[in-house]
Amino acid sequence: MAGEHELWGDEDGLSWEDTEKIFRHAVPVEIVRGRRSVHVEYRRLRQGWRAISPDLPELDVRSHTLTDAGRLVRQTLEGWLDPQVVIVDQVVRDGSRAWEGPSADR
């Protein structure tokens, strides 16, 4: 791997002024990503709901109602995900998915 000296040049490399000229005339580049999604599974507990995600093992939200669980999931994911990511909600009953679909909240 090249050392910092090799990457950034030395006295014989580009001057600060030359570097500024290059950056001033550079054309911005936009990175386009494909559509991405995160699946969230909601499971009924004896005293409420639990939301987990096979895509995000760190996500584990519990609430008394399904509506509150969905709201808490969105609040949590706001800080983790880009706004373009689609959240796909799934309610799981007895090992089978009762319904699924993209969230209308995001």
Q: Is the pTM of this model over 0.85?
A: no
* Domains along the chain with CATH numbers: 37-102 (3.30.160)
Q: Can you give the pLDDT at residue 49? A: 96
Mean pLDDT for 42-68 is: 94
User: Is the pLDDT reported for residue 98 higher than 70?
Assistant: no
HEC string of the chain equals: CCCHHHHHCCCCCCCHHHHHHHHHCCCCCCCCCCCCEEEEEEEEECCEEEEECCCCCCCEEEECCHHHHHHHHHHHHHCCCCCCCEEEEEEEECCEEEEEEECCCC
Average pLDDT over residues 58-65: 95
| Mean pLDDT of the residues in the chain | 81
Whole-angstrom Cα distance, residue 36 to residue 38?
Answer: 7
Specify the pLDDT at position 83. Answer: 80
Q: Is the pLDDT of residue 5 over 60?
A: no
- The per-residue pLDDT for range 6-53, each reduced to its tens digit, is 555 555 578 888 888 888 888 888 777 777 899 999 999 999 999 999
What pLDDT, on the 0 to 100 scale, is given for residue 6? 54
